[in-house]
Amino acid sequence: MKLLEYKGKELLGKYGIPVQNGIVAGSPEEITSKINKLTPPYVLKAQVMTGGRGKAGGIKFAAGIDQAEKLSGEILGMTIKDSVVKKLLITEKVDIKDEWYLSIMLDRVIKSPMVIFSPLGGVDIEETAKNDPKKLVKITVDPFLGIKGYTARYIFSKFGLDKKYFEDFALLLSNLYKLFTEYDSTLVEINPLAITKEDKLIALDCKADIDNSSLFRHPDIYEFREGLDEDVLIKDARKYNFLYIPLKDSSDIAVMSNGSGMLMSCIDLITKTGAEVRAALDLGGGATRERIAEAIKIIFKDKITKYLFISIFGGITRCDEVAGGVKLALEEGLENRKIIIRLEGTNKKQVLDILDSIGDSVIFAEGITEGVEKLASIRSTR
């Protein structure tokens, strides 16, 4: 679960990490009613789940209220990398004299948290790692020990940082790690971590990812997610613990499977035929026929989707349950839709009898390649 900047900063503030005073608004009228709480000049920042907003015009500066209201009208509603700006974060501008980078992420290879620091903040960390790797340090954190004082001391020693910032930095790093662990995070990033003219450390930006499976422990994050302006099909799928992923608006093909690897393989093969995939749905494991039927209905709620390619290896999810779910969905009426289905695994022998009872709306394939070929053939003749 990726957080918008303003929500990430809320968490930072909750853990005693300094952030700018700010307001969040979704309309010019809301900005007018709230902006008096802040002292000019202002920074206006589009709240979108994508990078590059500054280059796209999603970050602007305003000297006073009138200019802030005018610029906010320009940012709200703009599109940044396919994301429409629905919310705006306005903060007080801070005079800074230096910028650092600091993050804690879950390293899935070593299965431990990792602290990443660079004295070159304000730019993409990938750029720093590529162009000036000596200005970047990665420190593995033993989850049984957590952050200790020697972690901050090592960072300051390696880069020769001014010791007058050490106590503030050590406390900030400790609090950031506490946030990271208590909120089941996979990433908490501050970029830049700024040093102000008054020699104070302050987080000017924040990215945070929270493990989706932990949201039952974090009602504030759950409420944030449910309040997002998401595709209605994403929300419908989530109710059944499915993952629905919109892809290409120009297509009329959807793909359904029980695993991201299988989904990507299917999408790659379909793409090689010259077609594109409109959406993908990951069932996860153990889906019953009732859940399969709900998944199919969710996909076909999108009236543009005319073809569904299903590829499932039946282990926990039995093949006859999948076929039964297809039959159950089609019994409720899905006109002018075609389902191409490839099944392998538990109870496969029972599948053909079930599918034969459905009619010509469903086409069976013995393998993924054969299924993709049949999909391409059907589309070319309609």
Asked if residue 342 lies in contact with residue 319, where contact means CB atoms within 8 angstroms, the answer is no
Catalytic residue among 101, 183, 244, 307: 101
Burial of 367 (0-12, 13-18, 19+ CB in 10 A): exposed
Burial of 13 (0-12, 13-18, 19+ CB in 10 A): middle
- Whether residue 101 lies in the annotated active site: yes
Give the closest residue to 220 by CA, choosing from 186, 188, 183.
183
Reported residue count of the chain is 382
DSSP code of 4? P
H-run or E-run covering 338: strand 338-345
C-alpha to C-alpha distance for 34 and 134, rounded to whole angstroms: 44
Give the start-end residues of each E strand in 171-319.
185-196, 201-203, 207-210, 243-246, 253-257, 279-282, 307-314
- Whether residue 189 lies in the annotated active site: yes
Asked if residue 243 lies in contact with residue 282, where contact means CB atoms within 8 angstroms, the answer is yes
> What's at 113, amino acid-wise?
P
Catalytic residue among 10, 189, 294, 321: 189
In DSSP notation, 176-205 reads: HHHHHHHTTEEEEEEEEEEEETTS-EEE--
C-alpha to C-alpha distance for 189 and 116, rounded to whole angstroms: 9
Asked if residue 118 lies in contact with residue 128, where contact means CB atoms within 8 angstroms, the answer is yes
C-alpha to C-alpha distance for 90 and 81, rounded to whole angstroms: 21
C-alpha to C-alpha distance for 20 and 22, rounded to whole angstroms: 6
C-alpha to C-alpha distance for 59 and 75, rounded to whole angstroms: 8
Strands 307-314 and 338-345: parallel
DSSP code of 86? -
C-alpha to C-alpha distance for 221 and 182, rounded to whole angstroms: 13
The set of catalytic residues is 101, 189
